[in-house]
Each structure stands twice: as structure tokens, then as C-alpha cells.
Structure 1
Amino acid sequence: MTFLGMPLMRSKHAHTDLPGGQGNIVETEPFPEVSHQHLSNQQLRTNIGHATSSIRDKRAGVVAELDDWEELREAGSRAKNQVMANLPEYLVEFEENFTAAGGTIHWARDADEANAIVTELVEANAPVLANGRREVIKVKSMATQEIGLNEHLETQGIDAFETDLAELIVQLGEDKPSHILVPAIHRNRDEIRDIFMDKMPDAGKLTNDPAVLAEAARRHLRHKFLTTKVAVSGANFGIADTGTLGVVESEGNGRMCLTLPETLITVMGIEKLLPSFDDLGAFLQLLPRSSTGERMNPYTSFWTGRTEGDGPQNVHLVLLDNGRTRALADEHGRTALNCIRCSACMNVCPVYERTGGHAYGSTYPGPIGAILSPLLTGVEDEANGSLPYASSLCGACYDVCPVKINIPEILVHLRSEDVKANHSPVSTQLDTALTGASWMMGDGKRMAAAEKGLPFAHKATRGGQINALPGIARAWTSSRDIPGLPEKSFHQLWAESEGQAESEGRTDHDGETENGGDEK
């Protein structure tokens, strides 16, 4: 396939019947359907509300410590925009440097190619165990979740063990991640204790103390770290001028996976590149403050190819397109690829806080998921087409984004694309309603005439809340109430107020004149 005119995708697993770079993200039901189910889950809303508010407060505190926070955001945005404007050249530069350092690069157009590549590498390097299956350990990776790698490996006789604590909770609970940074944010400590006691044979009796639960996870994973020959990771950064990969994490499990196994396979989206090592100065301040509310990540690991006698000796990187070239071709939406997966937008989003991540039906939930998923796979699919509407357009996500992605602007753009692509009846009704409103509000006399009906509407509704409306408005009132209609419009109240003020002014003026005469 060609990447913006350049022959970059050279995988021997190519599928000639697939469009180049077409996204392939595992999805569930559309957002409008699933969100209604989750809105009624009080425990879910409590768990997520408590967690996101805690992270918000921590982030605000550490961001306030920096006088140059906005300058850092600008530097991060500038570096990512530079990458997107010159991505083919940076990919070639990165490949040359990564290969020169002893690593091997594989290009994957989509999820099928990436999964096939990883499977082949695991089969070549991981021994078959007594149970007839192979094993790999994994560092938390959004890219591998995006392509459904764990599920694919399972069908090929390969068991993938998550080593990130939250990912382990999700895996043992036979669940799905609901947050980019904290995949198990929808679980409380009692639920986690029950999962561990049910699914960990060596867990024994546990309390809900976080330290006790973390120690149980360490004991469970320690043997895997020491015996598994192959690890799979994602990457936060790829440095073009050195061929270096980087992972930032909070627990140390990532470093175990990156150093102990004999074979390391990394899956990274092609947009994760930075031009040079110098650019990391801004990102290593932006990312931890925006994600965990920390001044720096506890564990930051970089590796460049392979080193004889030190760490993994078989180092592979799968560079994943999976719709990213499609997103890059959208001049209005391509800045979504600047995302560094900090999750700050999710922690301030009122919609996410009430529905949770599962409602979004894709790997990337929250505001960034509402734009990234449709950009990667298109708005033609019903689930993707509905995601850009999962927002109040309050703008909080843009305010906290460390690389200044204008998410509200892209949401509006994608809503327009959805209307063009799907031409749904809802859009037709909305167009009719907005056209009528524009006609009425475009003329003062027409607006005044419409306001004369307000007293009748107030009387008809008895001044109470409106719980149900017909047509397209039914979707609005299905989850919210409209405040009661007033008896008088703002214009009427203003006119009455002005008239009263004028009358009072005349009275005061007359009084002043008389007083003045007396004084003289």
C-alpha cells in the first residue's frame, strides 16, 4: 500500500482486498443505546465520579505549580503538528535508526495484519508448555486493545497475561477497560477483592485494603515475569532521530516486561513519533501532570534496538496504521492524532462521568474516543456516527488537553460528516427545526409575535417542567426535563422594567426640582 504516496506498508501479510489504512476497531452497541443502560447504574456513577474528581483535583494542583504550563502545551502541540505535517519522512527516519540499532520493523495496515505478525513472532520465540499452549506477558497497551490482540492470540493457542494492575483486574473479571489511564475505574475495592479471590488460585483470604490487593497481584505475577520468554508492549513515544522507543508507567511492571524476556514485541501507532529526544522535555512534564496528577512518572523506560547480553535479544516493532492515514487525510480532524493518551479530557467530561467508558463501544472512550474512533473507521457505521453527539460541547476537554486538541471543534465537524454520510431522519427533522428557528429569530417582529404565545404555553403546561416532547426532541427529554415556561419573555420583562425605571425617574426628577427651588 502507499502512505500519502510513499510505499511504506511492506508487510508480507498484506490483504489486497482491504483498503489501505482502513481502521478495524472492535466495537459493541451504539452509544445512545448503551448509555441509557449505564445511566441507571448508580454504583458505576459513584465509582467513576469519585475517581475522576480525585484525579481532577490532583491535576489542578500540580498544573498550578508551573508558571509556563501554557508554553509547555504550545510546545507539545507544535511538536505533534510538525510530526503530522511530515509523518512519511519521520517514519522513514525512524525505521532507518531503529533497524541500525538491531531492531526489526514490521508494517501493518490494519488489525488483521498486526495480529498475524505478532502471532507469527510469538510462535517462533515462545515455547509450547505442558498444557499445549504458549504464553506472553503484556505491558498496558491501547494499540493492542484497539486491534483485539489478546482475543486473537487466545484463538491461536497463546495466553496473554496483563501485568498492569488495572488491566489485570479487567482481565480476571472478564471485563473491558472503561478508561484510558485507569481501565478498572468502574470497579471499587470490594469488587476487586472479590475478583481476586475468585480468579487467583493463590490469593487466599483478602481484605479490601489497596496495599493487600496490590501485594496479591505481585505474588500472582512474579512467576510470570521470571519464566515467560516473550513480552508484548505498547509505546508512548518513538524518537525519530535515534530510533528509540519509550514507555512511561507507575508500577514497574512495564520495566519487568521490557528487560527480563528474551523477545520483546512492541505494537505502536504510526502517530506516536516525536522528531527528536529534545522534544521529550515538554512531554515528560505534560503527560504525568495531565494523566495521574503527578510531577513525573515513577517509571520511565527507553530502549534503542538490542544490546548484546543486556535485555531482550529479539527486538521487534509493529508499526500500525489501522485508519491513521485516513484520519491524517481529514484536515479538520487530523489533530486528534496528536493525542498522547493522558485521559485528562475524560476526567472533566460530564457525559463520560455519567455513562462510563463502556458506553462508547470502542477502545477509546470519552471525548477523545468520540472523535478518534470515527476518524479511524469512518462515521458510516451507526456506532461511530453516534459518538460525536456524546458531548455537551462545554469545551472543558479542550481546556485541559496537554497538546491543545480542539475536541469540540472536531466533534462539530464529525457531526456534519455524519449528516452527509447517513442522511438520517433525525438530521432532517433537526434541519427543519433549525431552519424554522432561524426564520423566526431573524426578524424582531416575527420573534415578538411568537413571544405573544408564551402566556398560553405557560398556562397549558401549568408552569411546570416539561417531561416529554414529540419528534426529534423526544431524545432530549428522554433523559432530562425542560424547565417550566415563564409567563413573560425577557423582552417583555425588560420593557416593563424600563418603563418602571422611566416612570420612577420622572418622579425623582420632579422631586429634585421642587427641592432645588426650596433651597434657593
Structure 2
Amino acid sequence: MSHPKPQPSFKARAGAALADPTLKLAIDRTTGTAERKRAAAVAAFPEFDAARARGKAIKDHVIAHLDHYLETFERNAIASGAKVHWAADDAEARAIVTRICLDAKARLVTRAKSMLGEEIGLPHALADAGIERVETDLAEHIIQLAGEAPSHIIWPAMHRTREQVAELFKAGHHPPPTADDPATMVQSARRELRAKFLGADIGISGANFLVADTGATCTVTNEGNAELTTTPPRIHIVTAGIEKLVPSTAHAFALLRLLVRSATGGELTQYTTFHCGPKRPGDADGPEEMHIVLVDNGRSRMLGDEFREMLRCIRCGACMNHCVVYRQIGGHAYGGTYPGPMGAVLTPVLDGLAGSRDLPHACTMNGRCAEVCPVGIPIPTLLRAWRVRSWREGLEPGVMRAGIGIWAMLARRPALYRLATRLALPVLRLFGRRGWIGSLPLAGGWTAHRDLPHPPGRSFMDQYRDQQAKKGAGQ
């Protein structure tokens, strides 16, 4: 299978992102709106905390009994007429999907947005098999025209401005749109994709939930493209991670109340569809065959380690929208399938810690991701666990290990630490101007794109002693 060219380092990607003012504008437009809408949706839903506790309990229960619910789902999905396939890793998942497509002699495949498909490398696999792939989600259509990967799990093209999208549509649509206002461009995309929907041999989707007691899969969209992807073709293929299971439809709806509010700030999406097997006698439409590919790809391994709680994730993207790092550098800088805080936890699982150790360090530990997570995943705790593992495995650069060693030596000697602090303060003041530090030796990664606050004239410990003395005098 062909793969993309090797990427620059995380620091190089982040540096390029920080230097791109257009990217910052695009990120601010989308994440700022998402943050405000979520806050309004939560404020209008007094039961949100109770719903979040229930959602967490549902996911924890399924994770604890995953084997039972996988067997139940498989049994009921087969009873509905679907064919269930098991994939231990991404390579096996790709092979299963491409084999189904080749056996069906498929020439054209439409695909609804699915991060699991991106995770297993499905776009490249279909291309290698000589199968035309058409992304039907509007944002995925945009990035397919641009030849890019998604930069966000909910808004894959959020790094693109409207003006940039207009240029892509002018070059990629035949005929091109007559104007660059949103309504005209959406109409152009609809016209471009309509024939593909109706001419596809196979439709491929992901699944937001897998319902164990019915064997149904659930998709959640706002455009209706998933329904047009899964209904007209004669074969429907679902790719889903094994953690997407819920015990029943009622449990799926309990999580939908959290998913939609956290992702887009709405109460319910425009289209929430449950697919239960292929077309039956008497049905007006639907696929003749339905295949469900259940993908492990490291998830079973997570069951037994400190990253187990990450299996609760319902892929809402709230952690990204509230992350101060993501909102500066966007999704592509993370380099993996999943960006942002959740990606910083998942990418080392999928790609190995050695090649992604920078991601757990790309976090200020401010805890906003954990505050907004609809199922209570302690993401900072999990990122700290990766940092600990990276240190124990000797993956940290020698300069960092030496620097932390010096700091530890000072921290264990309070008198020496206070002396070093007193000496550092006047030195730092030399680099200050108008209350800020614009450049500093050995801190170019920070000062290249932002100023640092000018330090106060006295150390924290000196200020603390004064404060305590005043309190004592007041008594």
C-alpha cells in the first residue's frame, strides 16, 4: 500500500502553523463559534451533569463487558441479514474492505465521513486498488479537492477559509460555481455529487454507535449525505471501532443527547439514522448487502492499561474546540488521524510512542478538555501517563533530561533554589520591555510567536512571606 511522504517533526509542523495567520483566522471562526454554541446548549439543558454521569456509566459498563456486547451485536447483526467481519488491525481492516469492493467489481465508491476509515488508511487502500472514491460530506469533499487530511473530527475542513474553498470549487467543479457565497457553493457541491450518489456501486460509512440488542448501526450527520451514501448503492459497508457499542437504542439516545450538544451545540442533528441489515422484501429502498467491519487496532490493548478510560470517547470534538494549543496550531500539526487532546492520547496507541512523544507534551495541563468532555475522560491524567512512560523508556532528549535533572537538584535544596530564583529575576528584567519579554535565550520556541509576561520584581516566595506576615499582623 502506498503511504504519504514522511512528515516533518511536530515542532516544525507547529512552527509552520503558528506562522500562518490565515490558519489562525479559520480556526478562530470555527472553534470560537463551537465553544459559544456548546455553552449555550449546556446552559439550556439543566440535566446536563446528570446526563454526563449516565453517559460515563454507560460507556464504563460496556467497556467492562465488551466481550459480551460484541458477541450480542454480532449475533443480532447476522440475524438482521448483515455480514460481520473482524479486523485485528488497520491492515486487516483495509484488506477486508478492499476485498469486498473487488469481489463486487466496484468501480465507484462513495464514502460518508468516518475517522475510523482515516485511521485504517482506507482512502489510500481504495486508490491502490484502482477504485474511485468520492467523499460525500461537504467538508470531506473540500479536503479531497485540496488533497489534504481532515484537521478536525467534526469539521474536517475547518482550517480552510470560505475564500479558499471558493478557489477549490472553481478549479474542481464542472461547471464551476457562479459566485462564492455559501449558498451558491453548496449548490455547486450538490450538483457535483448528485451523480456520484446515484452511480456508486458501494457506499461506505462509519458508525457513531453499534446497538448490541438489535445489531443496528447508527450514523449522525447534518447533511443527509450518509443516507445518500448508504441507501442507493447495492452494497453498504460499515467500518467501526469495537468501542462504539451500546447495549440498546435507549442507551444510544442517552449518549446522543451528549454528543450533539458537545459537538455542535444543537439538541439533535438533522439526520440520525439506524441501519439494521440490508433491504428486506417489501422495502422501498436500501442496499442488497450490508457488511460490518469491527476494528480492534489497539483497543483491546487499551483495556488492560492506564489508557482504558479513553475508550469512553464518543468523538464529539469538544476537547479540541476548547484546547488552547489546538486553537493556535490546528489539527494538521498533530500529524496523526486524531488531532487535539484526544489525538495526543490516541496517536501513541496507534503509531507508537517513539514517533509521537511530542504530542503528550503539547499540552498546558489547564484541564479544559476534561471539564468539557461529555463522558468525563481525564485527558490530562492520560497525557501525564504518556509523559511518565516516555521518561521511563528513555525517549526524552538528553537536553531535556539534563535540564530536569538540574531543576530537580535545585528543587531538593530550597536554599539553593531561592538563591537561583533571586539571581534569575534581574537577568530576566534585562530582556523586558513595556511589561513583556519579546526574546529570551533558549526560549525561541515561545518568543518567536508570542511575548512572555515580564516577571515581577520579587520572587513568589518573597511575596508569599509578605502576604502571610500581613495576615498575621491583621490578627
TM-score (norm 1): 0.84
Q: Name which of structure 1's ranges 110-119 and 476-485 shifts more when overlaid on structure 2.
A: 476-485
Correspondent of 2:224 among 238, 252, 274 = 252
How is 1:320-469 mapped onto 2 (pairs within 5 angstroms)? 320-330=295-305, 332-381=306-355, 384-421=356-393, 422-441=395-414, 445-446=415-416, 448-450=418-420, 452-453=422-423, 456-457=426-427, 461=431, 465=437, 467-469=439-441
Contact 2:410-2:417 at 8 Å conserved across structures: no
CA 489–216 in structure 1, closer or farther in 2 if over 3 Å, else same: same
| Corresponding residue number in structure 1 for 2:254 | 282
The separation in 1 between residues aligned to 2:429 and 2:143, in whole angstroms, is: 53
How is 1:262-281 mapped onto 2 (pairs within 5 angstroms)? 262-281=234-253
- What is the CA distance between 1:52 and its match in structure 2? 0.6
| Corresponding residue number in structure 1 for 2:81 | 102
CA 96–435 in structure 1, closer or farther in 2 if over 3 Å, else same: same
The separation in 2 between residues aligned to 1:402 and 1:502, in whole angstroms, is: 44
Residue 195 (1) aligns with residue 168 (2): yes
Contact 1:63-1:69 at 8 Å conserved across structures: yes
- What is the CA distance between 1:478 and its match in structure 2? 5.3
- What is the CA distance between 1:288 and its match in structure 2? 0.9
- What is the CA distance between 1:154 and its match in structure 2? 0.9
Contact 1:395-1:408 at 8 Å conserved across structures: yes
Residue 74 of structure 2 aligns with an amino acid whose one-letter code is E
| Corresponding residue number in structure 1 for 2:293 | 318
Correspondent of 1:117 among 67, 71, 96 = 96
Residue 172 of structure 1 aligns with an amino acid whose one-letter code is L
Residue 190 of structure 1 aligns with an amino acid whose one-letter code is E
CA 42–477 in structure 1, closer or farther in 2 if over 3 Å, else same: closer
Contact 2:369-2:379 at 8 Å conserved across structures: yes
CA 37–206 in structure 1, closer or farther in 2 if over 3 Å, else same: same
Residue 86 (1) aligns with residue 65 (2): yes
Correspondent of 1:487 among 442, 457, 462 = 457
Contact 2:142-2:168 at 8 Å conserved across structures: yes
- What is the CA distance between 1:456 and its match in structure 2? 4.8
CA 230–455 in structure 1, closer or farther in 2 if over 3 Å, else same: closer
Contact 2:116-2:241 at 8 Å conserved across structures: yes
The separation in 1 between residues aligned to 2:149 and 2:424, in whole angstroms, is: 49
- What is the CA distance between 1:502 and its match in structure 2? 9.8
Correspondent of 2:142 among 152, 157, 169 = 169
Secondary structure of 2:437's partner? coil
Provide Cα deviations, 1:262-307, integer angstroms capped at 9, x if missing partner.
1001111111111222212311211111111111010011011223
CA 99–350 in structure 1, closer or farther in 2 if over 3 Å, else same: same
Provide Cα deviations, 1:170-229, integer angstroms capped at 9, x if missing partner.
0011122111100000111111111111011233x4322111111111111111111212
| Corresponding residue number in structure 2 for 1:303 | 275
- What is the CA distance between 1:55 and its match in structure 2? 1.1
Secondary structure of 1:137's partner? strand
Amino-acid identity (%):
38
Provide Cα deviations, 1:358-392, integer angstroms capped at 9, x if missing partner.
000011001110111112333122xx111111111
Provide Cα deviations, 1:17-55, integer angstroms capped at 9, x if missing partner.
xxxxxxx99983332221001100000001111111011
Provide Cα deviations, 1:464-516, integer angstroms capped at 9, x if missing partner.
7272234xx6655555544334433345456668889999x9xxxxxxxxxxx
The separation in 1 between residues aligned to 2:432 and 2:155, in whole angstroms, is: 47
Residue 228 of structure 2 aligns with an amino acid whose one-letter code is M
Secondary structure of 2:294's partner? strand
- What is the CA distance between 1:75 and its match in structure 2? 0.8
CA 430–325 in structure 1, closer or farther in 2 if over 3 Å, else same: farther
CA 314–46 in structure 1, closer or farther in 2 if over 3 Å, else same: same
Residue 157 of structure 1 aligns with an amino acid whose one-letter code is G
The separation in 2 between residues aligned to 1:377 and 1:356, in whole angstroms, is: 20
Correspondent of 1:61 among 40, 65, 68 = 40
Residue 11 of structure 2 aligns with an amino acid whose one-letter code is P
Secondary structure of 1:350's partner? coil
Contact 2:153-2:338 at 8 Å conserved across structures: yes
| Corresponding residue number in structure 1 for 2:108 | 135
The separation in 2 between residues aligned to 1:237 and 1:390, in whole angstroms, is: 30
CA 456–350 in structure 1, closer or farther in 2 if over 3 Å, else same: closer
Secondary structure of 2:218's partner? strand
Provide Cα deviations, 1:34-93, integer angstroms capped at 9, x if missing partner.
100110000000111111101111111111111110111111111111111121221111
| Corresponding residue number in structure 1 for 2:199 | 227
Contact 1:243-1:304 at 8 Å conserved across structures: yes
Contact 1:468-1:478 at 8 Å conserved across structures: no
CA 104–499 in structure 1, closer or farther in 2 if over 3 Å, else same: closer
Secondary structure of 2:291's partner? strand
The separation in 2 between residues aligned to 1:110 and 1:499, in whole angstroms, is: 62
Residue 45 (1) aligns with residue 24 (2): yes
Contact 1:26-1:148 at 8 Å conserved across structures: no
How is 1:493-508 mapped onto 2 (pairs within 5 angstroms)? none
Structure 1's unaligned 5+ residue stretches are 1-23, 128-133, 506-520
Q: Name which of structure 1's ranges 172-181 and 426-435 shifts more when overlaid on structure 2.
A: 426-435
- Give the length in aligned residue pairs: 466
The separation in 2 between residues aligned to 1:80 and 1:499, in whole angstroms, is: 51
Secondary structure of 1:231's partner? strand
The separation in 2 between residues aligned to 1:502 and 1:81, in whole angstroms, is: 49
CA 494–338 in structure 1, closer or farther in 2 if over 3 Å, else same: closer
CA 336–217 in structure 1, closer or farther in 2 if over 3 Å, else same: same
CA 322–457 in structure 1, closer or farther in 2 if over 3 Å, else same: same
- What is the CA distance between 1:450 and its match in structure 2? 4.5
The separation in 1 between residues aligned to 2:40 and 2:67, in whole angstroms, is: 39
- What is the CA distance between 1:458 and its match in structure 2? 5.9
